[in-house]
Amino acid sequence: MNKFFFLLMMHCCACIMVAQTSLPVYLDETESIEERIGDILSRMTLEEKVDMIHAQSKFSTKGCPRLGIPELWMSDGPHGVRMEIAWDSWKHAGWTNDSCTAFPALTCLAATFNPELAWKYGKAVGEEARFRKKDVLLGPGVNIYRVPLNGRNFEYMGEDPYLASRMVVPYIQGVQSNGVAACLKHFALNNQESNRKQVNVEVSDRALREIYLPAFKAGVEEGKVWMVMGAYNKFRGKFCSHHEFLLQKILKGEWQFDGVVVTDWGSAHDTREAALYGLDMEMGTGTDGLTKNTPLAYQDYYLAKPYLKMLRSGELPLSSLDDKVKRVLRLCLRTNMDRRRPYGSLATQEHADIACQIAEEGIVLLKNDNHFFPIKRGKYKKIAVIGQNAVRSLTVGGGSSELKAKKEISPLEGLMSIYGKKNIYFSMGYTSGPSKFHPQLPAVDKADSLRYAAIALAKDADIVLFFGGLNKNYKQDCEGVDRTSYGLPYGQDQLIREILKVNKNVAVVLISGNAVSMPWIDDIPAVVQSWYLGSESGNAMGRVIAGDVNPSGKLPFSIPVRLEDNGACSFGASSYPGDGTNVYYKEDILVGYRWHDTQKIPALFPFGHGLSYTEFAYGELKTDKKIYDKDENIVLSLKLTNRGKCGGAESVQIYAGQSHPSVLRPIKELKAFKKVFLLPGESKNVTFSIPAKELAFYDEISKMWIVESDCFTFFCGASSTDIHDTVSVNIR
């Protein structure tokens, strides 16, 4: 080799080495995330930083094109990936490649009492989000079910903070295993839709900590969620989306949340507060479609030009901006800058199977006199299926959780494929207008003729299956508005009564995300609480009705007899829906079954209730010791036996109550649960380990969690009222 060629080679090698070593730190995947964030930040101009923290379209932010930081794309959640929405209006974009798997609503997931399914759910819906090129899925929602009229209860996980906490953690972990962020919403106290954008919530510190925050805390501390959405409403006079106490002190301080706080769409109200009180990203302000949009809308956001101006003038510190940008960059590095994340998949058979399993495990058998269910194939020649919910699409409507489902098997289709078309006779019975966010559209059919036809059918049917409930229509389980009454809409109560006059062999299947009154309950032998079950709705329902699947769902909320039996509603308008300005949470910590138990007001169907086609025998509840220190775990065990003739699963629930508390405490509170599958005749030992510190209450004076030295009773049961055994221990 001649000398010149050798020198040229050396020069080239040197150049390659320089090029390799000059890879910017932020693109070097061997560097830590924090180093990479610091490096990007040091390269950004003030304007580029501000551009990162507000919308550039309805569901995206701009990133930093000069440095190759990608746009960040978000989509609703939480039950599937919403159809594509237009660039800057709420209209559907009209794409043809955005049909998804509709998973069951989160009430159904909660009703499974099965955290493993929550992980599968999260992983699958995250895969769909990833395939659709979304970096953030705007869910799950964990606002506590406070009143049965809340239009969005179907999107949440019920009334119990422990149940919601156990279910939300794996959901988040599943979503985020795809390199897609989950977004925990709506932080906090968004427990009603009435006046949601203005209402000011007044609630005690204790109820806040014991009831309304635990699921958020678990999602942050255990689930390690990457994004949290601020709520629309106010709390103690301040908007939640820039709330110093909620966001700075609790979320980012106590819980050490290192992700992004995003507004709900249009929940920012002030530049200074947004800058200083914990908000990191502003979405949805003033881009409300044709009415308010202007070409510069995104630059006019509180966290856009107005913020830039105040930063330049020194009115607001640069450190406030840097902290937000760092958080957004951390989110990018976790999602759209992670080159190793998987590619996802959409509407696969695997996802349909997961959706079906969740639906099957979530359906709750409320009442089943004389073994009405299961209905074996061939038993009846003429099965009347009555009610609009047997055929109506329930994946549409309801607000931001609407979906364009690739398929949606209706209950009618599910039943036809099980019992054969010739044995199923359908009549609509009642009707309602098409799903529209606002306003309510009238039905086109004549209510009287529908009713007469249904009654005529019921008269000579062997059996009647009534499919009713709510339907995500405006004011019937829908975002932005609460229901206005506890009863079933569209004349369903009257229809059920009239059917009963001509045929007593009637079961009611309620599809809803909320409790409804059941004035006909004594005359109906069997009632099923079903949910918005999504793509596999009819398959799951059909299989439960026929007994191919043994129901194992448990109610994630209490169903009161009357609306006034609900804690919040018992105090009149100031407690719900509020006096126009404030809503006072007068029932305090006594939410749901805590209220029914403590006030001795029996629910029609209690929290945790759900029947099975088999029968479970509960053995004696034992503890490993009788006296525990406060840092110990209480180990409980019992033997559970399936005494029936078919396999099935039981969710064993453990509640705890304190004997002589120095403050008011609920009679009992859920502290553990386990879903146990047993073959006929099989027994299993079921054990639970409950840290004694979980027996604490939040002390408002010391602002600490306190476990008192006292006697505590553990209640083991099949629901919050069906208690099979108790055992007491002392905590010293």
Residues that bind ligand BGC (CB under 6 A): 76, 138, 185, 264-265, 400
Per the CB < 8 A criterion, the answer to whether 341 and 179 are in contact is: yes
Minimum distance from CB of 296 to ligand BGC (Å)?
A: 22
- CA neighbor of 168 nearest in space, from 81, 106, 241, 228: 106
- CA neighbor of 405 nearest in space, from 673, 678, 83: 83
Q: How far apart are the C-alpha atoms of 397 and 125, rounded to whole Å?
A: 19
Output the residue with the shortest Cβ distance to ligand BGC.
400
Minimum distance from CB of 158 to ligand BGC (Å)?
A: 18
Rg (CA), the chain: 27
Terminal Cα-to-Cα distance of the chain (whole angstroms):
86
**How far is the CA of 682 from the CAs of 379, 532, 643, 685, 687, in angstroms?**
29, 33, 8, 10, 16
Residue 110: phi, psi to the nearest 5? -60, -40
Nearer to ligand BGC, 264 or 588 (CB): 264
Nearer to ligand BGC, 400 or 653 (CB): 400
- CA neighbor of 408 nearest in space, from 434, 389, 429, 380: 389
DSSP codes joined into one string, 71-85: PEEEEE-SSSPPPPB
Nearer to ligand BGC, 76 or 565 (CB): 76
Nearer to ligand BGC, 30 or 291 (CB): 291
Per the CB < 8 A criterion, the answer to whether 596 and 564 are in contact is: no
Minimum distance from CB of 264 to ligand BGC (Å)?
A: 5
Minimum distance from CB of 603 to ligand BGC (Å)?
A: 29
> How many residues can be counted in the chain?
732
Q: Across the strands, what pairs with 85?
A: 92
- CA neighbor of 682 nearest in space, from 729, 642, 626, 624: 642
DSSP codes joined into one string, 478-510: BTTB--S-SS-STTHHHHHHHHHHH-S-EEEEE
Q: How far apart are the C-alpha atoms of 608 and 110, rounded to whole Å?
A: 10
State the SS3 of 576-641: CCCCCCEEECCCCCCCCHHHHHHCCCCCCECCCCCECCCCEEECCCEECCCEECCCCEEEEEEEEE
Minimum distance from CB of 204 to ligand BGC (Å)?
A: 25
Minimum distance from CB of 55 to ligand BGC (Å)?
A: 11
Concerning whether 462 is annotated as a catalytic residue, the answer is no
CA dihedral (235, 238, 241, 245) positive or negative: negative
**Crossing angle (nearest 10°) for helices 161-176 and 115-131:** 40
- CA neighbor of 534 nearest in space, from 408, 442, 649: 408
DSSP codes joined into one string, 17-48: HHHHHTS-GGG-TTS-HHHHHHHHHHH--HHH
Nearer to ligand BGC, 58 or 668 (CB): 58
CB atoms within 10 A of CB 704: 9
**Active-site residue identified among 98, 264, 477, 565:** 264
Q: How far apart are the C-alpha atoms of 141 and 216, rounded to whole Å?
A: 9
Please list, in sequence order, all residues whose beta carbon lies within 8 angstroms of the beta carbon of residue 332, skipping any fewer than 6 positions away. Answer: 63, 69, 70, 72, 135
CB atoms within 10 A of CB 247: 23
Residue with tokens 């002392």: 730
Q: How far apart are the C-alpha atoms of 311 and 309, rounded to whole Å?
A: 5
- Residues designated catalytic: 264
